[in-house]
């Protein structure tokens, strides 16, 4: 069995590894795997030899800083318009840096150069009417160029991604190699399709179906709607306000999800571990993005304190408390059953037992010692309204324990916010739902995962 020999094959290039053996590949390719993966991406951007060996797991590809938003769609659907609305909203509301690039710009420059300066490259790029006048000949030129190099779009995409230093890079105009670029991008990449009915396109841009231009898009990668992470419907109800609301409700949570790295069969076989620390928090914009999304669901006038459980909860709760100018209360993990800290000169604490976090229950060797959460006694005042901010909500055990500590001091939990909500929560969640009947609790998660596979 290869698994039993894994400790002996570090540094050996195993020839029998298949596409599902990413864990074994980490052993067999060793520290060279990162270099080999980048080499494969540059020489095989379309993934023709995708199953040769599992070099390209998500744990090794998306290591670059910055996220990519790849916006695709058929002609005249409003891709560039949507890119402008996204860039404007993100920059003005979050302060993140955003860059917009078009895959087709390079083809337009080559087309203009081939015309002997008869065609103005800048007008092709920025003047829509001028571009449409050259659409047929430009499409013919593009297809001829693509016959010489099928991976031209994917190579251009990779070069744009490598060159960008922005927090969020928005790329439009990609027609071929979309899903290969999405899968093997060196940065977290989120794929959006813009859909617009024919009537809308005709009303807005005088669009008419052209068999020579449009049929390839209808039959190509754009037709596989289910392969896209998100779809924006640019119909008659679409507007600037609708697009900007969509950015907050759908797009920004999706970008956050694309930055969460996943490790299959970790910490044990059958478990997919969701890594925030080496994924989302590794991004320079990750913590700020989460903070801005949390703040959309909190009103400073209705919150008196922020409670952050554990180590990672403290990371996400701190900036929220700072922005709202509210006290931060940390609920620490402890294995001491008696509140004896006062004997050492520390202020007294209040404790409660709890079942442990979701990931601790999935560990192969579980800690069997009793677990407790504690916070300084008196840190919550009578009648204070509390928001719990944590990294993950799965079984609900941690949230229920924090709620107990808050309620015993006379406080009321009004909000529960987390980065990830995994599956259908357990019995602890039901306890929280019972509380909602008399004391409503607003629950918000940036990312939601179903429970078809065990997640950690």
- The yes-or-no verdict on residue 380 having pLDDT over 90 is yes
Tokens 């990413």: give the residue.
Answer: 22
CA distance 52 to 49: 6
Per-residue model confidence (pLDDT) at position 218: 46
- The separation between CA 179 and the C-alpha centre of its own chain, rounded to angstroms, equals 17
Instruction: Check: CB of residue 399 under 8 Å from CB of residue 388.
Output: yes
Overall average pLDDT of the 41-65 stretch: 62
Assigned token pair, 326: 């509210």
| pTM: predicted TM-score of the whole model, two decimal places | 0.81
Q: What number is the average pLDDT over the span 159-184?
A: 87
Q: How far is CA 60 from CA 22, 34, 86, 321, in A?
A: 10, 6, 28, 34
Residues 6 or more apart from 318 whose CB is under 8 A from it?
Answer: 308, 328
Backbone angles phi, psi at 350, to 5 degrees: -115, 135
The interaxial angle of helices 79-94 and 286-295, nearest 10 deg, is: 90
Q: Which residue has the higher pLDDT, 303 or 20?
A: 303
Confidence check: pLDDT of 385 > 90? yes
pLDDT tier, 271 (very low <50, low <70, confident <90, very high otherwise): confident
Mean pLDDT, all residues of the chain? 81
- Annotate 88-111 with DSSP letters as a single string: HHHHHHH---EEEEETHHHHHHHH
End-to-end CA gap in the chain: 26
Residue 189, strand partner residues: 68
Q: Is 386 left (phi over 0), alpha (psi -120 to 50) or beta?
A: beta
Q: Cα–Cα–Cα angle for 390, 328, 404, nearest 5°?
A: 60
Radius of gyration of the chain (CA): 26
Tell me the per-residue pLDDT of 231-257, one tens digit each, with 9 for 90 and over: 999 999 999 999 999 999 999 999 999
Share of the chain above pLDDT 70, in %: 74
Do 66 and 167 touch, CB atoms closer than 8 A?
yes
The whole-angstrom separation of Cα 230 and Cα 160 is: 22
Taking Cα atoms as reference points, which of 192, 193, 104 lies closest to residue 156? 104
Mean pLDDT of 388-410: 90
Least confident of 22-31, 96-105, 120-129: 22-31
Cβ atoms 147, 10 nearer than 8 A: no
More confident residue, 3 or 182: 182
- Average confidence (pLDDT) over 164-177: 91
| Kind and range of the H or E run holding 201 | helix 198-205
Joined together, the tokens standing for residue 60 give 């090794």
pLDDT given for residue 221 in this prediction = 61
**Residue range 178-210, pLDDT digits in tens:** 877 777 788 899 999 999 998 988 888 777 766
What pLDDT is attached to residue 365? 52
Indicate the DSSP class of residue 232.
Answer: E
Q: Please tell me the least confidently modeled range out of 222-236, 251-265, 404-418.
A: 222-236
Tell me what pLDDT residue 219 has.
Answer: 46
Cα four-point dihedral sign 50, 53, 58, 64: negative
Rounded CA gap, 346 and 21, in Å? 51
For the residues 417-446, what does the mean pLDDT come to?
Answer: 73
Q: Answer with the residue of higher pLDDT: 73 or 356.
A: 73
Residue 320: burial class (beta carbons within 10 Å; 0-12, 13-18, 19+)? buried
């Amino acid at each position: 069995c290869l698994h039993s020999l894994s400790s002996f094959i570090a540094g050996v290039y195993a020839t029998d590894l298949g596409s599902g053996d990413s864990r074994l590949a980490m052993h067999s390719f060793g520290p060279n795997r990162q270099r080999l993966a980048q080499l494969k991406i540059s020489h095989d951007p379309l993934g023709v030899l995708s199953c040769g060996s599992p070099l390209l797991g998500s744990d090794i590809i998306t290591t670059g800083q910055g996220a990519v938003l790849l916006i695709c769609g058929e002609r005249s659907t409003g891709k560039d318009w949507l890119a402008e609305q996204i860039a404007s909203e993100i920059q003005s509301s979050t302060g993140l840096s955003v860059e917009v690039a078009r895959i087709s710009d390079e083809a337009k420059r080559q087309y203009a150069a081939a015309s002997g300066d008869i065609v103005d490259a800048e007008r092709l790029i920025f003047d829509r009417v001028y571009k449409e006048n050259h659409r047929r000949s430009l499409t013919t030129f593009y297809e001829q160029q693509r016959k010489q190099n099928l991976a031209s779009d994917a190579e251009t995409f990779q070069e744009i991604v490598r060159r960008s230093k922005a927090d969020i890079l928005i790329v439009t105009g990609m027609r071929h190699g979309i899903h290969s670029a999405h899968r093997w991008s060196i940065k977290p990449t989120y794929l959006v399709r813009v859909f617009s009915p024919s009537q809308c396109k005709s009303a807005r841009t005088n669009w008419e179906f052209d068999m020579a231009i449009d049929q390839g898009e209808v039959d190509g990668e754009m037709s596989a709607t289910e392969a896209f992470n998100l779809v924006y419907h640019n119909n008659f109800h679409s507007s600037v306000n609708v697009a900007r609301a969509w950015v907050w409700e759908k797009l920004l949570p999706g970008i956050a999800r694309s930055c969460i790295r996943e490790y299959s069969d970790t910490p044990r076989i059958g478990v997919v571990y969701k890594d925030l620390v080496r994924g989302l928090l590794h991004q320079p914009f990750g913590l700020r993005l989460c903070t801005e999304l949390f703040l959309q669901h909190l009103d400073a006038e209705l919150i008196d304190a922020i409670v952050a459980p554990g180590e990672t909860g403290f990371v996400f709760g701190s900036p929220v408390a700072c922005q709202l100018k509210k006290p931060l209360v940390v609920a620490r993990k402890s294995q001491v059953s008696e509140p004896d800290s006062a004997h050492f000169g520390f202020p007294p604490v209040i404790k409660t037992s709890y079942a442990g976090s979701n990931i601790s229950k999935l560990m192969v060797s579980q800690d069997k010692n009793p677990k407790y959460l504690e916070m300084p006694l008196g840190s919550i005042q009578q009648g204070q309204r509390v928001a719990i901010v944590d990294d993950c909500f799965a079984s609900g055990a941690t949230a229920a324990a924090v709620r107990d500590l808050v309620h015993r001091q006379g406080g009321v939990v009004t909000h529960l916010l987390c980065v990830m909500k995994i599956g259908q929560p357990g019995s602890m969640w039901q306890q929280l739902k019972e509380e909602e009947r008399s004391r409503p609790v607003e629950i918000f998660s940036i990312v939601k995962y179903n429970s078809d596979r065990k997640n950690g």
